[in-house]
Amino acid sequence: LLWELYELNFHFELYVLDCVLAASLWTSLDEAQLTRQTLLYSIFPGESGLVMLSEPLPQDSSQMGMCSSDMQVALPYLNSFHELLSTWPGAPSCLQS
């Protein structure tokens, strides 16, 4: 239960932080908002978006997303996280590539 609470907290804090730091991407056209929301959801495993209530707890590394010890599993989630962070103002130049 605590793990799920921590994870949900991280999901929603990241969502709110992105809404503040990339506000122009959230206040523009509906299509741009949907694209941004899809990018945010792609950072986390599962198909329930930011809500994990319908998702079982991870049982093996293939379900851990960017926390997986298997780089092939983690890489798509890390790439999505990189893409999200790269649009934030003041992001380090290494994220801009």
Q: What is the pLDDT of residues 11-58, one digit of tens each?
A: 899 999 999 999 888 877 788 888 898 999 899 887 655 555 555 555
CA dist 82 and 63 (Å) reads 19
Q: Residue 69 has what pLDDT? A: 83
Token pair 């983690």 in the structure block, residue: 74
Does residue 57 fall inside a structural domain? Answer: no
Does residue 90 fall inside a structural domain? Answer: yes
Whether 74 and 67 have beta carbons less than 8 Å apart is answered as yes
Does residue 75 fall inside a structural domain? Answer: yes
Does residue 54 fall inside a structural domain? Answer: no
**DSSP SS3 for 81:** helix
CA dist 93 and 11 (Å) reads 25
**71's tokens:** 């780089």
Does residue 53 fall inside a structural domain? Answer: no
Whether 1 and 53 have beta carbons less than 8 Å apart is answered as no
Does residue 58 fall inside a structural domain? Answer: no
Does residue 10 fall inside a structural domain? Answer: yes
Residue-number span of the structural domain to which 88 is assigned: 2-48+65-95
Q: Residue 13 has what pLDDT? A: 94
Does residue 31 fall inside a structural domain? Answer: yes
Q: Residue 5 has what pLDDT? A: 83
Domain count, the chain: 1
Q: Residue 48 has what pLDDT? A: 57
pLDDT surpasses 70 at 97: no
